A = this chain, B = another copy of it.
Amino acid sequence: MIKKVLLIVMDGLGDRPVEVLGGKTPLEAANTPNFDALVKKSQCGLMYTLGRGKRPGSDTAHLSILGYPIQEYYNGRGPIEAAGVGIKLKAGDVAFRGNFGTVDSSWNCIDRRAGRITNVAPFAKALDGTIIDGVEFIVKPGSAYRAGVVMRGVGLSANVSDADSHNAGDNIHAVVPKDNTKEAKHTANVLNKFMKYSYEVLDKLPENKKLEEQGKLKANFLLLRGAGKFVTLPKFSQKWGFKNAACIAGGGLYKGIGAFLGMDLINVNGANAQVNTNLEGKFNAAINALNEYDFVFLHIKPTDSLAEDGKPIEKREFIEKIDKYISLLNKVDNETLIVITADHSTACELKAHTADSVPVMFYCNGIRNDNITKFGERDFAKGSLGILEGKDIMPNILNIMGKLPIIGA
């Protein structure tokens, strides 16, 4: 009987054949004996995460795989990022992704990342709790120059423009409402007041005086984008009938998704979403977590980043590096289902996400395995699960566990 689940998502794992890899994809070209041994005992298929002909972002793809239809639960990146920096969102909150940046006195943007400043805690603290026209601003530091920002109050709308110009050199845009509702007008109005206030507070902050003295760029502006209204959403473990759920990830977005869905975040030293991330630590943390949690989500990022950089050989090598730690999964007991997949394909040639399908495999004791011998996109076309979508993953997991409700009698 299967009682626990380990879901491993390798970001952007799928790809297209590459000439330097002899017409194979990075995954097909990779020497993956440990993956392959699991594949042989797995039931396999190919997945169009958001459906055929839909090109997924990482956020929408993960929500879909974890069983939250994006039509119902996705309202932009803001709420996910805010959850990722530890803000507990409430229904009606409007959340943003924020960057601390540098502007001159006439609000021309000099640097969108304030010289890639590495710690913005004091700057976030200076703004956190600001109240303007009855609206509270919650501002928490994220990694490096990033912040999560939430507006909390009555009658707010997420249908407002970005203040972030997205280009250094441009003047900061005033926020404008994107519809004619009084909520959108009110929200834009409050945001414009907040921008003015935050510039005044930040520009004269002692920390900025110090930066100025060191000849560095000031973090004197908070650039906001990706407004999204938070809708109450069911906690992952409750929605799918698990005792509890844990998320192990290096990247901020993926921690955000875990937090957003009410998973416990397990931090691993050196898990940084970079090529030198602590894979061994992450795998060991995941295996240990299965002693306490009955659902563990493990996210691995660099497969995507390397493809976005157009590096097929490095992507293949990184897959081979992951493969080494797959042997650690031998320690997992036979009451555990291991699901291995990707959120979307990222094509090295295009340096971009694509709508190409990704492999998905379900491995556990007693699974109807397909005897496929290699972990690869085209090998998985032979899998008995056929073509799936992201929304099929959680129901298939429950099915394997014998936990699906019966329809009829």
Contacts and interface: CB of A to CB of B under 8 A. Distances in A.
Contacts of A386: 46, 381, 386-387
8 contacts: A46-B384, A56-B407, A57-B406, A57-B409, A77-B409, A347-B402, A355-B404, A381-B383
A355 B408 contact: no
Interface stretch (A137-145, A283-291, A367-375): A367-375
B408 A74 contact: yes
Contacts of A406: 55-57, 353
Interface of A: 1, 16-19, 25, 46, 50, 52-61, 70, 74, 77, 226, 347, 349-350, 352-357, 366-371, 377-378, 381-384, 386-388, 392, 394-396, 398-399, 402, 404-409
Contacts of A55: 399, 404-407
Given A56-B408, A355-B396, 20 more contacts: A1-B350, A17-B367, A19-B366, A25-B368, A46-B386, A52-B395, A55-B405, A55-B406, A59-B409, A352-B402, A354-B402, A355-B399, A356-B399, A357-B384, A370-B381, A371-B378, A377-B384, A378-B384, A381-B382, A381-B383
A47 to B, nearest CB: 11
A52 B396 contact: yes
B404 A53 contact: yes
A233 B370 CA distance: 41
